[in-house]
Amino acid sequence: MNIRDAYGPNRFGLSFEVFPPKSLEGDRQLATELEKLAECRPAFISCTYGAGGSTSKRTLEWCGRIQQEFSTPAMAHLTCLNSTADSLKHWMRQAFDSGINNLMVLRGDLPRNASTGGEEAPGGLRRAHELVTLARELSDSIGIGVAGYPEKHPESPDDETDLLHLGTKVRCGADAVFTQLFFDNRTFLAFRDRAIRAGIQTPIVPGIMPVTEYDSLVRISSLCGSVIPDELQSGLEAARHDPVAQFEFGVDYAIQQCRDLIRHGVPGIHFYVLNKAAAVRLIVRELLFDARDLSPIAGRTPGKQLASCDKDLVAARQTETWY
């Protein structure tokens, strides 16, 4: 399966993102969660790649498990900072030999206290578009995803410059753009409109992270700089001493966010699940009820039908409206 096949007429590309755990117990827990995520029949599940290649072997191991044990196509993340072109080629060939046909190609995060120029290993790369070019030179048939930033990359001086960088990545061979998480859909829609006006025709897939704890919301905001709508912040803050209420509010907020995106014609949704299936399964289940009715259900009370059995989820997933 190539990610190009996930988006298009009568297709909706559902996908999830996980990260390699750091312990055996984490491995066991992720395997349990992946079994639950695979029941949602996603187009693919991606696995991240630690800073400076710190989890490069684990990324390949988990992508292999995703495909072999859970019968789901995998997308391996790859970053280029602190890596030589030769080492990146070797890693990509290993991925291809393992049957991994999709890559999420990224520059990677700068080390702390580094300049915006990044760190370049001898014979290495400094920009994501260079890695896209390198990957495309190795294979015309693989699927390549790249990152997009609705609220612009923190190192970009303005939206226009940020969009120029995105356009370069697409022209170098990217098949789809997956956005950084955001909580206000107007930000994403404005970004998508700017990209289309700039001539970017590649599918732009919104990245959604369900936030079900107030403390997590504060931490995420400080790390990625996403604007937090008052409705989300005040709702989680009001329930911060009630874990169940926080979870329900966060799930319902994400459901409404996804419904609105679907009404605006997004080609798919990429969920950042943080190695936990519970929230996203409820979200997907609710959206599948919408898909079975062939239109978004306006005005329905959030959460009322979240207890549907799993067989309904799988059956609904087999309709033409959800791939």
Catalytic residues: 17
Q: Measured between alpha carbons, how far is 125 from 131 in angstroms, rounded to an integer?
A: 7
Closest CA to 50 of 83, 26, 92: 83
How far from chain centre, in Å, is Cα 101?
17
Instruction: Give the span between the Cα atoms of 38 and 11, in whole angstroms.
Output: 18
The phi, psi pair for 210, rounded to 5°, reads: -65, 125
Letter for the amino acid at 286? E
Distances (CA, A) of 154 to 30, 110, 270: 31, 11, 21
Question: How far is it, in rounded angstroms, from Cα 52 to Cα 50?
Answer: 6
